[in-house]
């Protein structure tokens, strides 16, 4: 600390005069110290104002958490969009209360949120996983649903022994669209497509064959990318090596499904149940019953087929063709079929996603479309 006795007398007098001149403005109309607002009707002082040698920084308010109460048909992504944040941020903020939302946990299951859960979040803020706070501030009083929730269709489950349920679309009253990507045969650019979907927070269901998904470098990488983001993706079953199931008996069908389940599970830690898509879309009553008996509850078809697996030199679609087909045919509840090895799929995706959202349609997984 500086000893004032060492300051020149003239300087001490000058500081005293300046301090006295500032006293009337040091207390605002409310009488609270630090207010610099002149009292009403008082003229502002004229003449030059001394420049202070130090200006105290304006304090930055701490982020304010609020509580959101989950309503039917909510998911982390829809909540995140409402409050201008990310699903992963919401998961980090709530992992202490709901351990299944901990992105660092083996049990991370962000697609399993329940009506009535009270989620804390900060609108307009994204969590940096490298700088997580030690504590979560207390939230403001809870609010329920930013908008009225549509009525929820109860999940459909197959009766024992009745075989798999065939689905080609969900409710037409829905504002959701399931994006599905098969993977078998041509694999490139599967990793680039998975990277683009991840970067843009697009939800999708991935149908790898067991052989391509676990016995090729590109396939393994694509499956692992899906498994790393269960808040965005789910894995499903597309057989082991893509045979026509109508040419197999029940034992052959069960073998195809179980081999794929075991291999994908060992690689990713995820199950392919309850979703199965028959290669070539080939199924009959025997296939449906055998698939259900093997443990897969849903035989998944589609109502929008991009035919993106066919190259343009053989009459396949360009990126603009794929975009036009999807956006002209899609409607609420649609299941869109694409391929991770599609020739022009990657180039078509940005316009497809923008077009869906312009129509008020959210890309989701099959679980989000049919079971939530």
**Is there a single domain that holds both residue 98 and residue 219?**
no
**Is there a single domain that holds both residue 113 and residue 226?**
no
Residue 18 lies in a domain: no
The SS3 call for residue 321 is helix
Please state the separation of Cα 88 from the chain's center in Å.
7
Domain end (from 89, 110, 144): 144
Please state the separation of Cα 262 from the chain's center in Å.
27
**Is there a single domain that holds both residue 136 and residue 174?**
no
**Is there a single domain that holds both residue 174 and residue 83?**
no
**Is there a single domain that holds both residue 209 and residue 286?**
yes
Quick one: which of 261, 208, 196 has its CA closest to 232?
196
Contacts of 210 (CB under 8 A, 6+ apart): 239, 240, 241, 256, 259, 260, 261, 263, 264
Q: What is the pLDDT of residue 157?
A: 55
Would you mind telling me the total number of residues written for the chain in this entry? 372
Q: What is the pLDDT of residue 372?
A: 82
Contacts of 13 (CB under 8 A, 6+ apart): none
**Is there a single domain that holds both residue 73 and residue 114?**
yes
* Pairwise CA distance, residues 149 & 243, whole Å: 42
**Is there a single domain that holds both residue 271 and residue 323?**
yes
* Pairwise CA distance, residues 77 & 13, whole Å: 65
The full DSSP string for 25-70 is HHB-TT--BT--PPPTTPPPPPSPPPPPS--PPPPPPPPPPEEEE-
**Is there a single domain that holds both residue 311 and residue 247?**
yes
Residue 139 lies in a domain: yes
**Is there a single domain that holds both residue 265 and residue 179?**
yes
* Pairwise CA distance, residues 291 & 276, whole Å: 8
* Pairwise CA distance, residues 98 & 259, whole Å: 33
User: Dihedral sign, CA of 337, 339, 345, 350?
Assistant: positive
* Pairwise CA distance, residues 118 & 74, whole Å: 12
CB atoms inside a 10 Å sphere around CB 2: 6
Pairing type for strands 165-167 and 335-339 reads: unpaired
Q: What is the pLDDT of residue 312?
A: 96
Residue 9 lies in a domain: no
Residue 15 lies in a domain: no
CATH number (domain holding residue 184): 3.20.20.370
**Is there a single domain that holds both residue 212 and residue 317?**
yes
Residue 261 lies in a domain: yes
**Is there a single domain that holds both residue 228 and residue 99?**
no
Quick one: which of 135, 140, 148, 149 has its CA closest to 119?
140
The SS3 call for residue 113 is coil
Q: What is the pLDDT of residue 109?
A: 87
Domain end (from 109, 144, 179): 144
- In tens digits, the chain (372 residues) has pLDDT values of 444 444 454 444 444 444 444 444 433 333 333 344 444 444 444 444 444 433 444 444 445 678 888 887 788 888 888 888 888 889 888 888 888 898 888 888 888 888 888 888 888 888 877 666 544 444 444 444 443 333 333 344 556 677 999 999 999 999 999 999 999 999 999 999 999 999 999 999 999 999 999 999 999 999 999 999 999 999 999 999 999 999 999 999 999 999 999 999 999 999 999 999 999 999 999 999 999 999 999 999 999 999 999 999 999 999 999 999 999 999 999 999 999 999 999 999 999 999 999 999 999 999 999 988
Residue 8 lies in a domain: no
Q: Which residue range forms the structural domain that includes residue 123?
A: 66-144
- Tell me the whole-structure pTM to 2 decimals: 0.63
Contacts of 138 (CB under 8 A, 6+ apart): 65
Pairing type for strands 165-167 and 298-300 reads: parallel
Cis peptide before 90 (omega within 30 of 0): no
Pairing type for strands 66-69 and 118-121 reads: antiparallel
Number of domains in the chain: 2
* Pairwise CA distance, residues 183 & 278, whole Å: 12
Place of tokens 């073998």: 255
Quick one: which of 214, 165, 215, 204 has its CA closest to 182?
204
Q: For residues 255 and 290, is the Cβ–Cβ distance under 8 A? A: no
**Is there a single domain that holds both residue 205 and residue 316?**
yes
Burial of 371 (0-12, 13-18, 19+ CB in 10 A): middle
Quick one: which of 250, 185, 245, 188 has its CA closest to 211?
185
Residue 280 lies in a domain: yes
Residue 335 lies in a domain: yes
User: Dihedral sign, CA of 102, 76, 371, 251?
Assistant: negative
CATH number (domain holding residue 125): 3.10.350.10
């Amino acid at each position: 600390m500086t000893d004032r006795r060492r300051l020149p007398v003239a300087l001490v007098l000058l500081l005293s005069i300046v301090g006295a001149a500032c006293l009337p403005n040091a207390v605002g109309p409310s009488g609270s110290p630090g207010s610099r607002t002149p009292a009403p009707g008082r003229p502002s002082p004229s003449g030059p104002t001394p420049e202070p040698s130090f200006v105290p920084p304006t304090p930055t308010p701490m982020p304010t958490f609020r509580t959101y109460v989950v309503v039917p048909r909510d998911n982390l992504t829809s909540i995140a969009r409402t409050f201008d944040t990310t699903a992963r941020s919401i998961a980090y903020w709530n992992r202490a209360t709901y351990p299944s939302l901990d992105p660092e946990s083996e049990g991370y299951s962000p697609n399993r949120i329940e009506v009535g859960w009270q989620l804390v979040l900060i609108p307009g803020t994204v969590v940096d996983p490298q700088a997580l706070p030690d504590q979560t501030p207390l939230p403001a009083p809870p609010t329920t649903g930013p908008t009225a929730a549509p009525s929820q269709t109860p999940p459909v489950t197959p009766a024992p022994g009745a075989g798999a349920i065939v689905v080609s679309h969900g409710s037409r009253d829905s504002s959701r669209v399931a994006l599905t990507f098969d993977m078998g045969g041509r694999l490139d650019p599967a990793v680039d497509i998975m990277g683009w979907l991840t970067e843009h927070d697009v939800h999708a269901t991935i149908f790898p064959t067991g052989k391509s998904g676990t016995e090729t470098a590109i396939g393994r990488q694509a499956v692992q990318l899906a498994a790393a983001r269960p808040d965005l993706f789910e894995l499903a079953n597309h057989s082991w090596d893509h045979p026509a199931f109508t040419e197999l008996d029940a034992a052959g069908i069960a073998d195809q499904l179980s081999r794929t389940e075991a291999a994908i599970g060992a690689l990713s830690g995820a199950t392919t149940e309850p979703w199965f898509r028959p290669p070539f879309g080939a199924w009959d009553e025997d296939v449906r019953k055998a698939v259900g008996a093997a443990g897969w509850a849903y035989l998944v078809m589609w109502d929008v087929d991009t035919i993106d697996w066919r190259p343009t030199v053989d009459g396949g679609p360009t990126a603009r063709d794929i975009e036009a087909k999807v956006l002209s045919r899609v409607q609420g509840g649609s299941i869109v079929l694409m391929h991770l090895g599609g020739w022009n799929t990657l180039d078509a995706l940005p316009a497809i996603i923008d077009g869906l959202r312009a129509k008020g349609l959210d890309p989701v997984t099959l679980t989000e479309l049919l079971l939530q």
